[in-house]
Amino acid sequence: MAGSQETLLAQLDTLISEGRNPATLHIDEGTALDIVRMINREDHLVAPAIEKILPDIAKAVDCIVDGLSRKGRLFYIGAGTSGRLGILDAVECRPTFSVEDTLVNGIIAGGERAITHAVEGAEDDDMQGQKDLDGHAITRHDVIVGLSASGRTPYVCGALRKARERGCITIGIACTPKSPVLTFSDIALCPVVGPEALTGSTRMKSGTAQKLILNMLSTASMIRLGKTYQNLMVDVNASNEKLRARAIRIVMQATGCEAPTAKQALSDAGQNTKVAILIILCDVDAATARRMLENSDGFLRRAVQEQS
């Protein structure tokens, strides 16, 4: 055990995410305003770090689009904050883009309990990472995204190894260069955001960086798959009053019509926003609009252009 601890201590000494930040050494002496200013200054480093790796993020998006187009699925897998961020992005894809529950998936070390509670030791289990991923019967068309701020989490490394054995495309997101999670990945996404304002608290800059990248991966992939029209969420799943109101506004924004016209078109379309927009823009009935959408593989802009 002592040897294992010595090894871990040596590893932590090399991690950027675990380093002490000289800019915040006196953060404990500051007023509330001093503290939040220091944190805000550090947060300003995140977007520029991501900008440097945008070409790699774009490659990852292309791989995700290719996999999903071949009936594959997208998996995020991580521990702690990283795992929770993956689950958050996966869950949000369903109402935003009306995708099947199984298309985008989040897996966290320690299972469902770990979403709201710390599950001690879960992230250290390499074999459990492999088992948890294998439990989803992954195929070579699935894309696996491993999330780890430090880049060394054994649970994530195990899952990525298993994914590679199954022929999956693997994408690693870590904030430490040349870390194991990145070496097990076909595409390595490494925004170097530097040490945290609070030493080792990787829920801060590292977590923000991971969240921004996940936003890009899922949103850009869904856009490329025809889930939007212009910058409108035309595949939104109107499952509550707020989303039903949003669907009406989307139809109005896409067509320039008034609310009563949008409501009637949505009613005729069975609350399908894309169909409702086509009904208005192309002056067709619902059945024709559905056929147009099918012929364009669900791409609303393509359907409109082909009608012109």
Are 246 and 201 part of one and the same domain?
A: no
Decide which of 293 and 1 is more confident: 293
**290 pLDDT higher than 50:** yes
Catalytic-residue membership of 18: no
Q: Which of 51, 92, 165, 196 is catalytic?
A: 92
Which among 212, 255, 172 has a CA at the least distance from the CA of 46? Answer: 212
Where does the pLDDT of residue 237 fall: very low under 50, low under 70, confident under 90, or very high at 90 and above?
confident
Count of domains observed in the chain: 2
Are 168 and 206 part of one and the same domain?
A: yes
Last residue within a domain, chosen from 164, 197, 224: 224
Note the pLDDT of residue 240.
85
Q: Is residue 165 part of a domain?
A: yes
Q: pTM for the whole thing?
A: 0.92
Note the pLDDT of residue 41.
97
Give the mean model confidence (pLDDT) for residues 112-135.
92
Are 195 and 254 part of one and the same domain?
A: no
Alpha helices by DSSP H, the chain: 2-14, 32-43, 46-51, 54-69, 80-97, 113-116, 126-134, 154-165, 180-183, 205-224, 241-255, 259-268, 273-282, 286-295, 300-307
Domain that holds residue 299: 241-307
The string over 162-188, giving b where at least 16 C-beta atoms fall within 10 Å of a residue's C-beta and e elsewhere, is bbeeeebbbbbbbbbeebbbbebbbbb
Give the mean model confidence (pLDDT) for residues 251-267.
96
Q: Is residue 283 part of a domain?
A: yes
What CATH number does the domain containing 156 carry? 3.40.50.10490
DSSP code, position 1: -
Q: Is residue 6 part of a domain?
A: no
Are 176 and 257 part of one and the same domain?
A: no
Span 153-209, pLDDT tens digits: 999 999 999 999 999 999 999 999 999 999 999 999 999 999 999 999 999 999 999
C-alpha dist (Å) from residue 221 to 10, 60, 230, 284, 308: 39, 9, 15, 30, 27
Q: Is residue 160 part of a domain?
A: yes
Catalytic-residue membership of 42: no
Q: Which of 18, 123, 241, 294 is catalytic?
A: 123
Are 217 and 296 part of one and the same domain?
A: no
